[in-house]
Amino acid sequence: MNITKIENHIYLIDVETAGIKNFIASYILKGKQTAIIETGPVSSIHNVLSGLRELNIKPEEIAYVAVSHIHLDHGGGVGTLLKFLPKAKVIVHQRGAPHLANPEKLWQQSLKVLGNIAEMYGKPEPVPEERIIAATDDLTFDLGEDVKLKVLETLGHASHHLSYYEPSTKGIFPGDAAGIYLNEIGVIVPTTPPPFRLDIALASLDKLIELKPKVLYYSHFGKAHNAIEKLQTYVRQVKLWAKIAREGIENGEGIEAIRQRIIEKDEAVRKALQYIQNHLVLSETTLNESVQGFIGFVEKFPDFPL
């Protein structure tokens, strides 16, 4: 477990799920009160807790645990973590809230989609309903000492997705709304599992760009400068993938052929190919689930302008 001070008041804990480094981040945001943004899955909550201890943050100082969405790698551990944090409330999109209170359906669905990876993440524990803040757009949480956390609804990756804006650094915690940033090689790749909505995801990306952010704090993974440029790069990339998927569908290609053409035509993916193929989780998700997300979208919305 590895802690990095990334701003005067923000720390990154690498939660190292299943020992995988540089993959899932949990952020600690300190004002007068403290907030945690993203917990990672159940199986690495012990690393979040050791991180808090190492930073000398007492469990009762944590006022909020904010999750971008309820997928296991982001909010899966929140029920478990909360048992150790007596005063914390959970911030989650209102459509995700029922699934944190009763995670059984989420767990069954995750097993179906992710199989062994879901087992590796662990089964989420329920969050007591009275501790959940079902968030809507534009809600702002004031942590004191000029540190604020503003909720931004950014659907598309999921129908229950939030990003968070921190005005003092002009920083955005985009969750999965802005792709996966492979910080070790400086490449962005899509995270767009079915039922991915490209149209809605693009509107969310526009919304993030309009804020003119300076930095991004990716859940996968880490702090990155040139935020606007990175968001614009992701916009171009998802449009390219959608075009390739649509051509493929029109020509009767299957997922394998479409995936091959994505690798041929997307320079970022070519650069990241070896990294992805060697990665326990990304090898399953980005070149499989994400491609399927695009195929599903273009089949459903064949006339969406690209």
- Binding residues vs Zn ion (CB under 5 A): 73, 176
- Which of 166/176 has CB closer to Zn ion? 176
Q: Using alpha carbons, list the distances in angstroms from residue 57 to 28, 51, 88.
A: 10, 9, 13
Min dist CB 207 to Zn ion, Å, is: 19
What CA–CA distance (Å, rounded) separates 174 from 164?
7
Nearer to Zn ion, 73 or 166 (CB): 73
Rank residues 33 and 110 by Cβ distance to Zn ion and give the closer one.
Answer: 110
> Could you give the angle at which helices 255-265 and 290-300 cross, rounded to 10 degrees?
110
Which of 31, 41 has the CB closer to Zn ion? 41
For Zn ion, give the closer residue by CB, 75 or 248: 75
Instruction: Look at strands 147-153 and 162-166 and give their pairing.
Output: antiparallel
Counts of helices then strands in the chain (DSSP H, E): 12, 15
Rounded least distance, CB 219 to Zn ion, Å: 6
Structure tokens at 264: 């041929």
To Zn ion, the closest distance from the beta carbon of 118 in angstroms equals: 13
Dig out the tokens for 261 from the structure: 């053409």
Q: From the CB of 222, what's the least distance to Zn ion, in Å?
A: 14
Please, what is the minimum distance in Å from the beta carbon of residue 284 to Zn ion?
12
Nearer to Zn ion, 31 or 181 (CB): 181
Burial 214-227 (b: 16+ CB within 10 A, else e): ebbbbbbbbbbeeb
The SS3 call for residue 80 is helix
Taking the complex as a whole, the smallest distance from the CB of residue 79 to Zn ion amounts, in Å, to 18
